[in-house]
Amino acid sequence: MLQPKKSKYRKAFRGNRNGVASRGTTVVFGDFGLKATSAGWVSSRQIEAARKKITYATKRVGKYWMRMFPDKPITKKAVGVKMGSGKGDIHEYVAVVRPGMVLFEIGGVTPDVAKSAFSKAAHKLSVKTTVIEK
């Protein structure tokens, strides 16, 4: 499961998810990209599931790049714990995704293979996406 090796602060604020991505909005490494059209949090489990779908759908031909990383810790209190007594323990790590951000890239495959792989991977993610070309 993806998570940071070190972080400056153990627990993070929730933050806001409004606005559009200012960086990482174009295909840089590969030929095709999976671009987010809505904002949200994408968990490390969702990223891993999408990554596996991409490798399976492309039959490990070509190369893929993950352009997001889950570096935001999300806390959750245990079941049955009463109100108060501070913030909960870290439950999972998420990547903050804003509209326009490129999430995955693929190179060295045909356009129909890339579109098929990205559509299968998009089902695993909690944000709306679209396929773009370089």
Rounded CA-CA distance 39/56 in Å is 27
Q: Alpha-carbon torsion 47, 48, 50, 55, what sign? A: positive
* Counted domains in the chain: 1
Burial class of 90 by CB neighbour count within 10 A (0 to 12, 13 to 18, 19+): middle
Say if 8 falls within a structural domain.
no
Q: What tokens does 70 get?
A: 């889950």
Say if 9 falls within a structural domain.
no
pLDDT of residue 31: 97
pLDDT of residue 116: 97
For residue 17, name the pLDDT band (cuts at 50, 70, 90).
confident
pLDDT of residue 90: 97
User: Does position 107 have pLDDT exceeding 90, yes or no?
Assistant: yes
DSSP 9: S
For residue 1, name the pLDDT band (cuts at 50, 70, 90).
confident
Structural domain for 51, as ranges = 32-76+87-133
- What CATH number does the domain containing 41 carry? 3.90.1170.10
